[in-house]
């Protein structure tokens, strides 16, 4: 791993202030530090089920953040990848009796291929159109799943698969125990984080950020903007597919809403709340969103009203999100 | 017989197209003139339908609903522009999208609190109930009425934009706001008004659609996707593009439902994918825009 600081915007090389040096060190060790924090998470939260959800949605947001935060493409169709990952994982078990790992691999592969098709179409459009096209294409996937009810269960969602015991490299693990489940999911989250960190540290990572900052200049410098965007889109889709597959294994049901436009919106909100374009932000965002959901729904059935209002306030006044704002303060 | 069936299906396709044009019109105007992609469009369409239901229940008249609901929701649109959209004009283009998405989220929840989660039936106004014989078959009067209203609105828009001084300024402002500002035009006031008109038209679409669609808090999601499809096919917030695209989509959906009814909704998105492959800028969009 090359020790490059991409999380912080400070100049490379020697940092003068102690805080800056600390930030750079943290940035270099961001994958182990994030995994360490996530290892501790279930012991810090009131319920283990909440921790599993934070992990799954955090992984979803990590995948999404690669496209939105780092490449600067605002997609409103990522429910299609999360949902197709979930559906294909579930369908592999229900219809073909696949084992959990094969099912999950199928889910990721399916989401990756779907991202390749959707990406090829949506990247042809420029700027503001991109959000509209990704949303419309995701709706196409939603209605297809609704119609293909013999495969997907239609409006009732996909049911009838429960993974109670899984085999991790010869080790039998009780998957109904939420704590065991958490650490199994964490293995996959760690893999995704490592992959994203490698991608960001490579020259590919530098190019996607160049595209985000100034697409015209990146093109003028001779980079193949379309192809780079497509690779980012596909990688992002595959990670979201992984999150979807994990969610299917976790819930033992795939509701049709997994593919709904609301799910796409959910990951946008989580990513922005946490801090787009920051490495740890997606988990903070997922945690903040899920804790708010839990707290507000204790008190009112209309928790979405408050979450939506808080999101609007973030867009207006804190567009860097929670983690992005903390990082910004640390750099000064 | 077969020819008659196809002719009927073409006609109902054209009607569906008119409804889609109305669905997308407010969105297209705001997008074309202000460059703001309004993700709360579906929610405001839904609020228009609910406002129509509320006014019709209070006054007992569909005609009052048709008049009052768009004005009331248009006024709400003015408030939204003033307090939520205006602070974002100098920010990245994604920020208004994010904000209006959050706004849509909030508006849907407000409607749930006021009217409940279930759909509300909205009966066709008594004067427009029934069918009329068009020679090739029987057709619902209400749908013909919708075509007439959409044609009237389009004619008024065309007159307003092409034949008045205000329209001239709006069109010039859409092309180059900077020059207009230099020329001494208060663009902020102009955008304020255009946004209000766009939201009012969105609400009018909602009221007109209320007797044909199920009025429920969830109806906005499909409306938003439909508006996107029509705008992307038409290209660049062009009103002519939206009209042609709307009717094209209506015809395709209608003919698909003749052959394979379960594919009707899907065909609309497939058409958009096809247009993107052949002409990414849309039918009436300029390349590179």
Q: Please give the pLDDT value at position B276.
A: 84
Q: Could you state, in order of their start, the residue ranges of all structural domains in chain B?
A: 2-278
Cα of A263 vs its chain's centroid, Å: 11
Beta bridge partners of B140: B131
| Residues A48-84 pLDDT 10s | 889 999 999 999 999 999 999 999 999 999 999 999 9
Cα separation values, B175 from A217, B58, B106, Å:
24, 43, 32
Instruction: Measure the CA angle with vertex A254, ends A260 and A44; round to 5°.
Output: 95
Q: In this structure, are residues A283 and A61 in contact, taking their beta carbons and an 8 Å threshold? A: yes
A97 close to B (CB below 8 A): no
Distance from CA of B132 to the nearest CA of A (A): 33
Q: Please give the pLDDT value at position B287.
A: 55
Angle between helices B219-234 and B41-59 (to 10 degrees): 120
Q: In this structure, are residues A242 and A56 in contact, taking their beta carbons and an 8 Å threshold? A: no
**Radius of gyration of chain A, Cα coordinates, nearest whole angstrom:** 19
Averaged pLDDT score across all residues of chain B: 89
| Whole-complex ipTM | 0.89
d(C-alpha A218, C-alpha A239), whole Å: 26
CATH architecture assignment, domain B2-278? Orthogonal Bundle (1.10)
Q: For chain A, what's the residue count?
A: 332
A304 close to B (CB below 8 A): yes
A76 close to B (CB below 8 A): yes
Q: Please give the pLDDT value at position B262.
A: 84
Cα of B222 vs its chain's centroid, Å: 12
d(C-alpha A130, C-alpha A133), whole Å: 5
Q: Please give the pLDDT value at position A160.
A: 86
User: Other C-beta atoms within 10 Å of A65: how many?
Assistant: 28
| Residues A2-32 pLDDT 10s | 344 344 444 444 445 667 777 788 888 889 9
Upper half-sphere CA count for residue B166 (Cβ side, 13 Å): 9
Q: Please give the pLDDT value at position A7.
A: 45
pTM for this structure? 0.90
d(C-alpha B94, C-alpha A171), whole Å: 47
Chain B residues whose CB is inside 8 A of the A308 CB are 102-103, 105-106, 109
User: Other C-beta atoms within 10 Å of A148: how many?
Assistant: 13
pLDDT tens by residue, chain B, 289 residues: 578 888 888 888 888 899 899 889 999 999 888 889 999 999 999 999 999 999 998 998 899 999 999 999 999 999 999 999 999 988 888 899 999 999 999 999 999 999 998 888 888 888 888 888 877 778 888 988 998 999 999 999 999 988 999 889 988 888 888 898 899 888 889 999 999 999 999 999 999 999 888 899 989 988 999 999 999 899 866 788 899 999 999 999 999 988 888 888 899 999 998 888 888 888 887 654 4
Strand boundaries in chain A, DSSP class E: 165-168, 171-174
Q: Which of A316, A318, A320, A321 to mutate to test the interface with B (most CBs of B within 10 A)?
A: A316
Chain B residues whose CB is inside 8 A of the A319 CB are 91, 95
């Amino acid at each position: 791993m090359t020790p490059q600081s991409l999380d912080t915007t400070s100049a490379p090389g020697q940092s003068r202030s102690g805080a800056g040096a600390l930030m750079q060190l943290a940035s270099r060790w961001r994958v182990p530090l994030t995994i360490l924090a996530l290892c501790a998470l279930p012991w810090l939260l009131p319920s283990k089920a909440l921790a599993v959800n934070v992990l799954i949605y955090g992984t979803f947001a990590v995948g999404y953040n690669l496209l939105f935060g780092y490449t600067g493409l605002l997609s409103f169709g990522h429910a299609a990848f999360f949902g197709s990952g979930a559906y294909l994982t579930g369908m592999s078990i229900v219809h073909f009796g696949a084992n959990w790992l094969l099912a999950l691999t199928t889910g990721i592969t399916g989401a990756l291929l779907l991202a390749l098709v959707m990406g090829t179409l949506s990247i042809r459009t420029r700027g503001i159109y991109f959000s509209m096209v990704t949303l419309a294409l995701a709706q196409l996937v939603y209605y297809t799943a609704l119609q293909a009810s013999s495969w997907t269960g239609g409006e009732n969602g996909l049911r009838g698969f429960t993974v109670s015991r899984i085999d991790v490299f010869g080790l039998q693990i009780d998957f109904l125990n939420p704590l065991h489940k958490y650490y199994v999911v964490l293995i996959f989250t760690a893999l995704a984080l490592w992959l994203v960190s490698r991608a960001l540290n490579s020259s590919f990572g530098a190019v996607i950020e160049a595209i985000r900052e100034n697409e015209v200049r990146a093109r003028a410098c001779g980079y193949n903007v379309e192809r780079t965007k497509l690779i980012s889109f596909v990688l992002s889709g595959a990670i979201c597919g992984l999150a979807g597959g994990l969610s299917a294994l976790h819930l033992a049901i795939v509701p049709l809403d997994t593919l709904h436009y609301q799910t796409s919106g959910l990951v946008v909100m989580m990513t922005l709340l946490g801090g787009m374009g920051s490495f740890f932000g997606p988990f903070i965002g997922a945690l903040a969103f899920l804790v708010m959901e839990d707290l507000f729904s204790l008190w009112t059935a209309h928790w979405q009203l408050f979450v939506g209002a808080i999101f609007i306030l973030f867009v207006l006044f804190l567009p860097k999100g929670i983690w992005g704002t903390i990082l910004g303060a640390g750099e000064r | 017989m077969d020819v008659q069936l196809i002719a009927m299906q073409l006609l109902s396709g054209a009607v569906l197209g008119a409804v889609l044009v109305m669905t997308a019109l407010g969105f297209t105007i705001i997008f074309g003139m202000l460059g703001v992609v309004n993700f709360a469009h579906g929610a405001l369409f839904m609020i228009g339908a609910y406002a129509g239901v509320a006014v019709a229940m209070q006054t007992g008249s569909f005609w009052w609903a048709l008049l009052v609901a768009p004005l009331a929701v248009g006024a709400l649109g003015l408030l939204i522009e003033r307090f939520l959209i205006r602070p974002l004009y100098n920010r990245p283009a994604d920020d208004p999208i994010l904000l209006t998405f959050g706004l849509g989220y909030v508006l849907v929840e407000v409607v749930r609190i006021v009217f409940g989660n279930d759909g509300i039936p909205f009966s066709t106004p008594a004067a427009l109930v029934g069918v009329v014989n068009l020679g090739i078959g029987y057709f619902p009067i209400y749908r013909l009425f919708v075509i007439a209203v959409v044609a009237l609105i389009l004619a008024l828009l065309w007159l307003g934009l092409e034949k008045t001084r205000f329209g001239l300024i709006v069109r010039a402002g859409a092309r180059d706001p900077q020059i207009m500002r230099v020329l001494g035009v208060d663009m902020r006031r102009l955008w304020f008004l255009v946004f209000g008109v766009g939201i009012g038209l969105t609400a009018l679409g909602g009221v007109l659609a209320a007797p044909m669609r199920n009025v429920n808090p969830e109806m906005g999601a499909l409306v938003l996707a439909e508006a996107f499809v029509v705008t992307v096919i038409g290209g660049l917030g062009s009103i002519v593009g939206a009209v042609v695209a709307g009717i094209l989509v209506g015809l395709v959906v209608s003919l698909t439902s003749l052959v394979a009814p379960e594919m009707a909704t899907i065909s609309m998105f497939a058409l958009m994918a096809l247009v993107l492959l052949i002409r990414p800028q849309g039918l009436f969009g300029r390349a590179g825009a």
